[in-house]
Amino acid sequence: MNISKPHTMTLSPAISTVRELETRTLTTLNKRVEENRLEFLPVKMAAVNLSVYYGKFQALNRITMDIPENKITALIGPSGCGKSTLLRAFNRMNDLVKGCCVEGQVVLNGKNIYDPDVDVVDIRQRVGMVFQRPNPFPMSVFDNVAYGPRLYGIRKKRILAEIVEHSLRQAALWDEVSDKLNQSGLALSGGQQQRLCIARAIAVEPAVILMDEPAAALDPISTLKIEALMESLKENYTIIIVTHNMQQAARISDFTAFLMIDESRSGTLVEFNATDKMFTNPDDEQTEAYITGRFG
């Protein structure tokens, strides 16, 4: 992948070291968690004063939020509020967009992923992504899942076979495809294709999985399968999901971030809260209006 676009990077003036940043994000989260009477939660990722520009247009305006480890965090908000931009900023997918420029930080395990010494391929391995439309490669089920591990240098057939089976099992697809590993991934149903894409994403053992409306193109049963799968995956992974389906966010996520467009049409974070709190008694009036369908 050719990443030529340089990005400006500014540390928040109040934060001088990553260590301090880590401590601070933990503190704010713990405070919130305490308020919501949840147990102590470590932070896996954090956006700190994150702004994203497409040319002159500012798509995101100084987003600061923590992503708790082994939890599902949902990003919700009206169309154009920047939630997909934010999701893509978490694994530098925006680097691929011409004219895109990022300010602020995305911290993964205490390290800013936009630091100049960071290898973007390494980031994409640690932060995987699943898209709205299932997009299996035009190759066999086996090769789809083995694609990433091969890319990272694994050649031994036995090990690849183990990874493929393990990944397909984790993606709750093994029982359905174990006898057709050599068939084309494109021959599977939509819901199976999406689970294949999830298996492909987890085959490289990421720490975080980003999901951009992963069930939007699926029927209700396949949707519920994906949701059940996410629930089981969070045991091993941290998941961030963009969804337009409010009930889906309410069903599956532990935390919810609500984004909206501010006066200058940039996406801002209005509220970040435990999902249980957000959907029964949100702190912000704008959140209330949006989730109850009174605007947006």
Partner 1 sequence: MPRQTLDREIHHLQDEVLLLGSMVEQAMLNAIDALKRRDTAAAKRVYNDDELINEKRYAIENRVLILFATQQPIAHDLRLLAAIMEVITELERMGDYAKGIAKITLKIGDDETPIPIREISRMGDLAVGMLHRALSAFIAEDVNMAHRIPQEDDEIDELYNQVYRKNVAAMIANPEIIDHSNLIMWVVHNIERMADRVTNICERTIFIATGELIEIDDSDDEWDDDEDED
Question: Is the Cβ of residue 51 or residue 287 nearer to partner 1 in the bound state?
Answer: 287
CB of 263 to partner 1, least distance (A): 23
Question: Is the Cβ of residue 19 or residue 294 nearer to partner 1 in the bound state?
Answer: 294
CB of 274 to partner 1, least distance (A): 13
Task: Please report which residue ranges of 79-219 form alpha helices under DSSP H.
Answer: 83-89, 120-126, 141-151, 157-170, 174-177, 190-202
Question: Is the Cβ of residue 24 or residue 251 nearer to partner 1 in the bound state?
Answer: 251
C-alpha torsion sign, points 84, 89, 93, 95: positive
Q: Which two tokens stand for residue 212?
A: 């951009």
CB of 285 to partner 1, least distance (A): 10
Query: Would you tell me which residues interact with partner 1 (CB under 8 A)?
Result: 246-247, 250, 279-282, 287-288, 291-295
Q: What share of the chain is helix, strand, coil (3-state, %, to 5)?
A: 40, 25, 35
Question: Is the Cβ of residue 4 or residue 281 nearer to partner 1 in the bound state?
Answer: 281
CB 228 within 8 A of CB 172: yes
Question: Is the Cβ of residue 165 or residue 227 nearer to partner 1 in the bound state?
Answer: 227
Taking each helix axis as running N to C, give the angle between helix 190-202 and helix 141-151, from 0 to 180 degrees, rounded to the nearest 10.
20
CB of 72 to partner 1, least distance (A): 18
Taking each helix axis as running N to C, give the angle between helix 190-202 and helix 220-233, from 0 to 180 degrees, rounded to the nearest 10.
20
Distance CA 94, CA 218 (A): 26
CB of 288 to partner 1, least distance (A): 5
